């Protein structure tokens, strides 16, 4: 008989050695406008890629990349599906073994195209043709040490607004496809479902406990209709960012001219969580900012 | 029953891909089942072939065929993964949402249902970004999985939303599997039902299964097992199956006949099937 204390359904094995989120990559036709918006939100441009038109913005433990490189996947994505979040990178203990394991479980590999002297960051294909990169250089030695040059600080420097980390990533999927994407994340990453909301959204958490995704079915994207290929209709909808002081963030956003689609309010689906939602300043990007209850 | 649910396998018909598409449309079919060869052997190449199919407005109800992923070594598994990716891309290129995976007939086939289920699950993951489903089909001459009841056991073990069963009347007739076990399988776990018959009462040798299957099938209504096909059809419908059917009639006689003659027999077979359902409902 199985020992209940070792039941794998409660604590899935971290087969890939996941250890949180490294960066979120944005494909935007107007990189300058999006960069200015990030600065409104308290992010600083800290580094630029050595050979490509890619800029790293940072606040707290959040790394946002704006990729405007013509030859890049981001701009191919932009041309195919329109502007959006085209990739995320996850931290893993060991890229080579994690990547091999992910491919053996049925993930599609992305053909590499690093330039000379640049890191080759392997990636797999996820919802709506987005990519998930695997990174094992984080902490003291990062991927940015190799591929990026530091940018001088702005004068005056951008004031951080207390955004600390990426709290969740929302994936839009065709209605009826949510179970397939749940199983995809289970099989490849060992994510487990933590909650299904009244509205039909599914919350999943990585086995390392540091990455949350929300799978949100969209009624108007029906699989099977010839005009509506899932890869065109699905994708990363938005990013939820964590803060310890939501009221301060709301005040600072307003002061910086960021319109709010929803003022700070209780999250109907998650007791104790409060949140705000910005209105898009650079279409189609909007952000959720959440404050979780203080740990007991 | 809406007869538009009954499609036709291109391999049932003689002629070029374009001739088959035109004939299927003219005969009132809404869907076809294609095989990789239909695209790859097209004189203008697979990309042009796929465009012709998409422009035809015919739905591609299923794509043939990947052999089971069963493997004894890591190298073999990686090789099979590449084959799977290649055929999934072809299926996606014609907007097809179902890839048929047939049970292995190899003498080295894997016997472990847990491993077979795990392999189907990998295929389910591989097919997810395209929105393609995996339909597992037991071939009557499969090494270990040779009846739909075996295939269902593996599909149940895989426990994936986009991994289900393909039922082929021909395989059931060969093995004389009881059709009433079908009622234990939820209708939505059956992704496709293929129909064909043959003219002999009974075949005993496995070698003959293969020969008859590839060269001597006939349309439903033309063969020796009309009663069993009728039972199968009414059983599926009464269980709530509302998915696609296809006429899968691999036959040398069809390949050596004029396309209009074969198509006329296909149309007669559709009417025969529809009449069986209508009779069952009265």
For residue range B10-31, list pLDDT tens digits in order: 999 999 999 999 999 999 999 9
CATH class of the region A163-291: alpha beta
Q: Which CATH architecture has domain B3-281?
A: Alpha-Beta Barrel (3.20)
C-beta atoms surrounding A275 within 10 Å: 24
Size of interface A-B (CB pairs under 8 A): 61
Please state the domain extents for chain A: 18-150, 163-291
Cβ contacts of B132 on chain A, cutoff 8 Å: none
**Does the distance separating the beta carbons of A129 and B129 come in below 8 Å?**
yes
**Does the distance separating the beta carbons of A226 and B122 come in below 8 Å?**
no
Over residues A209-237, the pLDDT tens digits come to: 999 999 999 855 554 444 457 888 899 99
What is the average per-residue pLDDT within A91-119?
Answer: 87
CA atoms within 13 A of residue A132's CA, in its CB half-sphere:
27
Smallest CA-to-CA distance from B11 within B246, B193, B264 is with: B246
Please state the domain extents for chain B: 3-281
Task: Check residue A193 and give its pLDDT.
Answer: 97
B193 strand-pairing partners = B167, B245
- Which portions of chain B are predicted below pLDDT 70? 282
The reply to whether B117 touches chain A by the CB within 8 Å rule is: no
pLDDT band at A120 (very low <50, low <70, confident <90, very high): confident
Residue of chain B whose Cα is closest to the Cα of A178: B161
The residues near A291 (Cβ < 8 Å, ≥ 6 apart) are A242, A243, A244, A245, A246, A273, A274, A275
The reply to whether B121 touches chain A by the CB within 8 Å rule is: yes
**Beta carbons of A265 and B166 less than 8 angstroms apart:** no
pTM: predicted TM-score of the whole model, two decimal places: 0.93
pLDDT band at A115 (very low <50, low <70, confident <90, very high): low
**Is residue A8 predicted with pLDDT exceeding 50?**
no
Domains A18-150 and A163-291 share a fold: yes
pLDDT band at A3 (very low <50, low <70, confident <90, very high): very low
How far is residue B275 from each of residues A14, A55, B3, B234, B281, measured CA to CA in Å?
Answer: 55, 67, 10, 11, 10
The reply to whether B125 touches chain A by the CB within 8 Å rule is: yes
Q: What one-character DSSP code corresponds to residue A108?
A: P
Over residues A133-183, the pLDDT tens digits come to: 999 999 889 999 988 999 998 888 999 999 999 999 999 999 999 999 999
Task: Check residue B1 and give its pLDDT.
Answer: 85
Smallest CA-to-CA distance from A125 within A231, A12, A21 is with: A231
Cβ contacts of B77 on chain A, cutoff 8 Å: 104
Q: Which of B78, B85, B122 sits opposite A105 (nearest CB)?
A: B122
Q: Which CATH architecture has domain A18-150?
A: Roll (3.10)
The reply to whether B161 touches chain A by the CB within 8 Å rule is: yes
What is the average per-residue pLDDT within A21-38?
Answer: 94
Over residues A248-283, the pLDDT tens digits come to: 999 999 999 999 999 999 999 999 999 999 999 999
Q: Which of A177, A183, A230 sits opposite B160 (nearest CB)?
A: A183
The reply to whether B115 touches chain A by the CB within 8 Å rule is: no
Residue of chain A whose Cα is closest to the Cα of B126: A106
pLDDT band at A43 (very low <50, low <70, confident <90, very high): very high
Q: Which of A105, A129, A226 sits opposite B95 (nearest CB)?
A: A226
Q: Mind giving me the DSSP string for A46-73? A: EEEESSSSEEEEEETTEEEEEE--TTSH
Cβ contacts of A224 on chain B, cutoff 8 Å: 97, 131
The residues near B58 (Cβ < 8 Å, ≥ 6 apart) are B21, B24, B25, B29, B30, B31, B32
**Does the distance separating the beta carbons of A108 and B129 come in below 8 Å?**
yes
* Check: complex ipTM more than 0.95: no
Task: Check residue A156 and give its pLDDT.
Answer: 86
Burial of A76 (0-12, 13-18, 19+ CB in 10 A): middle
Over residues B44-65, the pLDDT tens digits come to: 999 999 999 999 999 999 999 9
**Does the distance separating the beta carbons of A230 and B123 come in below 8 Å?**
no
**Is residue A4 predicted with pLDDT exceeding 50?**
no
CA pair distance B226, B219, nearest whole angstrom: 10
Smallest CA-to-CA distance from B34 within B10, B13, B58 is with: B10
Task: Check residue A9 and give its pLDDT.
Answer: 45
Chain A residues whose C-beta sits inside 8 Å of any chain B C-beta:
103-108, 125-127, 129, 174, 177, 179-181, 183-184, 187-188, 223-224, 226, 229-231
The reply to whether B130 touches chain A by the CB within 8 Å rule is: yes
């Amino acid at each position: 008989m199985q020992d209940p204390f070792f039941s794998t359904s409660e604590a899935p094995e971290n087969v890939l050695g996941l250890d949180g989120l490294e960066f979120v990559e944005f494909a935007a036709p107007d990189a300058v406008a999006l960069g200015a918006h990030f600065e409104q939100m308290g992010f600083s441009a800290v580094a630029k890629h050595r050979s490509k038109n890619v800029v790293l913005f940072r606040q707290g433990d959040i790394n946002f990349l704006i990729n405007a490189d013509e030859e890049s996947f981001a701009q191919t994505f932009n041309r195919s599906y329109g502007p959006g979040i085209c990739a995320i990178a996850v931290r893993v203990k060991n890229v080579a073994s994690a990547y091999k394991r992910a491919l053996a479980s049925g993930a599609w590999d992305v053909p590499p195209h690093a330039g000379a002297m640049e890191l080759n960051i392997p990636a797999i294909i996820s919802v709506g043709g987005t990519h998930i990169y695997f990174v094992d250089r984080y902490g003291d030695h990062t991927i940015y040490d190799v591929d990026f040059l530091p940018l001088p600080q702005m004068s005056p420097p951008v004031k951080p607004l207390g955004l600390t980390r990426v709290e969740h990533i929302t994936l839009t999927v065709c209605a009826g496809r949510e179970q397939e994407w749940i199983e995809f994340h289970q099989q490849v990453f060992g994510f487990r479902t933590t909650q299904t909301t009244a509205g039909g959204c599914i919350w999943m958490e990585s086995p390392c406990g540091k990455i949350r995704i929300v799978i949100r079915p969209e009624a108007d994207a029906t699989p099977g209709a010839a005009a509506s290929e899932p890869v065109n209709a699905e994708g990363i909808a938005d990013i939820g960012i964590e803060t310890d002081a939501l009221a301060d963030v709301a005040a600072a956003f307003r002061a910086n001219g960021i319109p709010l689609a929803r003022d700070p309010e209780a999250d109907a689906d998650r007791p104790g969580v409060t949140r705000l939602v910005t209105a898009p300043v650079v279409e189609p990007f909007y952000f959720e900012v959440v404050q979780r209850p203080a740990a007991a | 029953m809406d007869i538009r649910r009954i499609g036709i396998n291109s391999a049932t018909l003689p002629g070029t891909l374009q001739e088959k598409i035109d004939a299927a449309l003219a005969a009132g079919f809404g869907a076809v089942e294609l095989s990789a060869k239909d695209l790859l052997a097209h004189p203008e190449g697979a990309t042009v072939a796929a465009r012709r199919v998409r422009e035809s407005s015919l739905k591609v109800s299923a794509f043939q065929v990947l052999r089971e992923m069963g493997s004894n070594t890591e190298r073999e598994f990686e090789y099979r993964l590449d084959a799977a990716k290649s055929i999934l891309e072809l299926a996606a290129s014609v907007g097809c949402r179902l890839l048929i995976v047939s049970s292995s007939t190899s003498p080295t086939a894997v016997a472990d249902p847990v491993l077979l289920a795990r392999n189907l699950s990998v295929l389910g993951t591989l097919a997810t970004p395209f929105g393609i489903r995996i339909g597992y089909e037991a071939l009557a001459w499969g090494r270990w999985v040779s009846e739909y009841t075996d295939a269902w056991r593996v599909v149940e073990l895989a426990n994936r939303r986009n991994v289900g069963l393909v039922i082929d009347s021909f395989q059931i007739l060969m093995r004389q599997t009881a059709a009433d076990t079908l009622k234990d399988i939820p209708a939505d776990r059956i992704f496709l039902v293929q129909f064909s018959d043959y003219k002999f009462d009974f075949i005993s040798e496995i070698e003959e299964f293969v020969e008859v299957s590839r060269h001597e099938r006939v349309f439903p209504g033309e063969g020796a097992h009309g009663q069993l096909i009728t039972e199968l059809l009414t059983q599926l419908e009464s269980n709530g199956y509302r998915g696609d059917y296809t006429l899968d009639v691999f036959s040398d006689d069809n390949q050596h006949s004029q396309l209009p003659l074969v198509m006329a027999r296909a149309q007669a077979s559709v009417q025969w099937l529809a009449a069986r359902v209508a009779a069952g409902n009265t």
